[in-house]
Amino acid sequence: MSGLQSLRGMNDVLPSESPLWQYLESQVKSVLDQYSYREMRMPIVESTELFARGVGEHTDVVEKEMYTFLDRNEDSLTLRPEGTAGCVRAALQHGLTHNQIQRLWYQGPMFRYERPQKGRYRQFFQIGAETFGIASPDIDAELIVMTHRLFKKLGISDSLTLHLNTLGSSEARARYRKALVDYLEGVKDKLDEDSQRRLYVNPMRILDSKSKSTQALLDGAPQFKDYIDEESVEHFDQLRKLLDAAGVDYVVNPRLVRGLDYYTKTVFEWMTDALGAQGTVCGGGRYDGLIPLLGGKPTPGSGFAMGVERLLLLLETLNVVPDSIYNTVDVFMVVAGEQAQLSAFELAESVRSLPSKPRLQMNCGGGSFKSQMKKADKSGAQIALILGDDEANQKIVQVKDLRGDMQQETAAWSDLAEIFAKFSI
């Protein structure tokens, strides 16, 4: 194929796929509404400094994956790689964190220059939630319970496992980091290449190294549980109690560290085995240090983001999407004759105004009766309305059942609501 193509790792969503996207988005939105989260819409482009400071200079995201460029004013800008930093920036800028509690959500494209593969793209969509101003573990539990409700509603919860960990306070982490580096320096030559590089810039990430030999070396490493602060332990215990009481199962995974620098205390991920290597569909946690880091008064924060494409892949793999979402037309209108053509819009508009709000597709562009009936069938509509000149003059119409075996009938325009009701339209 010649001509221009979309960029590698950046996908079009075709009309045949958009019903699935809309289905997921509406399910997520209805759950967020039930928990009184309010939508925030942030710009897709922000100053590079926001992510360097917020996400962390030595994270993979900032070091290797950002789409960064100079604008015409020579300012360094970046396509957002995630939503938390921008959401905090916006909340601070508009005074939303001052003496207030916020429950916010956002959705939209994020950009990371990663190697594309199934479930991993360079432009991908997230739906995220962030809360500001609540230090206690009940809000961490609420965020998790909310995702659990969503995954049950979508019919995918049996294929997902919740991994939970605590990263402690930043002071505890600094102490642990030092102990970990001291230990790993002793075995430095045996570490995989990536871990050697990370040893001084981001040693905690070595804990979730994919290398088997590195993982074996870690068996002898200092354990974070010996360094964690008492307050974080209590926070984590209370979170676990709340999740137990709410009936949400989890596994405590001490090697879960997450890839972004802002986390403190709680971190979690929902993972599946059904998607191959890219099995994390949702990740999040607490970030009590981020708001002050970005210039605000000390204010706690906690949130998560879900990968929309990964959730869609999972819905398809598990075959849990109702077929009905792909039906986008209820009624197709076939128009034959000059007078009929003139009356067709009047009838179509009155149908669209019925209280049941039928979705009517009009035959536009002419065509023989036969070709119009073919289009009617292809549209997926349940009913064809057939309007000829005689019918138009008498304000009647032929009603044809396209899917079942109801007799074709002639109906007055004014009786259509009653007839549609028989088809649940």
The nearer residue to ligand HAM, 203 or 284, going by C-beta atoms, is: 284
> Which of 303, 343, 372, 375 contacts ligand HAM by CB under 6 A?
303
176: tokens are: 């642990």
> Which of 285, 296, 300, 358 contacts ligand HAM by CB under 6 A?
285
* Closest-CA residue to 129 (of 62, 50, 47, 35): 35
Is 37 a residue that touches ligand HAM (CB under 6 A)?
no
Q: Could you tell me the strand order of the sheet in which 67-70 lies?
A: 45-47, 76-79, 67-70
Task: Evaluate whether 316 touches 135 at the Cβ level (below 8 Å).
Answer: no
d(CA 398, CA 358): 17
Per-residue DSSP letter, 379: T
Q: Which residue is nearest to ligand HAM (CB)?
A: 307
Is 121 a residue that touches ligand HAM (CB under 6 A)?
yes
> Which of 250, 304, 332, 413 contacts ligand HAM by CB under 6 A?
304
Look at the block and give the residue holding tokens 């354990």: 223
> Which of 56, 83, 86, 137 contacts ligand HAM by CB under 6 A?
83
Is 256 a residue that touches ligand HAM (CB under 6 A)?
no
According to DSSP, the β-strands at 45-47 and 76-79 are antiparallel
Helices (H) and strands (E) in the chain, counts: 15, 16
Size of the site for ligand HAM (CB under 6 A): 26
Q: Which residues contact 229 (CB under 8 A, 6 or more apart)?
A: 168, 169, 171, 172
User: For residue 372, how many C-alpha atoms fall within 13 Å in the half-sphere facing its CB?
Assistant: 23
The nearer residue to ligand HAM, 285 or 358, going by C-beta atoms, is: 285
> Which of 126, 169, 232, 266 contacts ligand HAM by CB under 6 A?
126
> Which of 54, 56, 86, 128 contacts ligand HAM by CB under 6 A?
128
Is 280 a residue that touches ligand HAM (CB under 6 A)?
yes
Give the nearest distance from C-beta 391 to ligand HAM in angstroms. Answer: 53
316: tokens are: 């398809």
The nearer residue to ligand HAM, 119 or 137, going by C-beta atoms, is: 119
User: Of the ranges 79-87, 199-207, 360-368, 384-392, which one interacts with ligand HAM (CB under 6 A)?
Assistant: 79-87
The nearer residue to ligand HAM, 202 or 280, going by C-beta atoms, is: 280
d(CA 218, CA 177): 13
Per-residue DSSP letter, 83: S
State the alpha helices, DSSP H only, in 82-211: 84-93, 137-154, 170-186, 193-201
Give the nearest distance from C-beta 287 to ligand HAM in angstroms. Answer: 6
Cα distance between the two ends of the chain: 42
The nearer residue to ligand HAM, 173 or 400, going by C-beta atoms, is: 173
What is the Cα 106 distance to its own chain's centre?
A: 9
Is 300 a residue that touches ligand HAM (CB under 6 A)?
no
Is 60 a residue that touches ligand HAM (CB under 6 A)?
no
User: Of the ranges 25-33, 122-130, 243-251, 323-331, which one interacts with ligand HAM (CB under 6 A)?
Assistant: 122-130
Is 284 a residue that touches ligand HAM (CB under 6 A)?
yes
d(CA 384, CA 280): 45
Is 283 a residue that touches ligand HAM (CB under 6 A)?
yes
Task: Write out the H or E segment, with its range, that includes residue 347.
Answer: helix 338-352
The nearer residue to ligand HAM, 303 or 358, going by C-beta atoms, is: 303
Is 307 a residue that touches ligand HAM (CB under 6 A)?
yes
Is 351 a residue that touches ligand HAM (CB under 6 A)?
no
Using CB under 6 A, list all residues that contact ligand HAM: 82-84, 112, 114, 119-121, 124, 126, 128, 130, 259-260, 280-285, 303-305, 307, 309-310
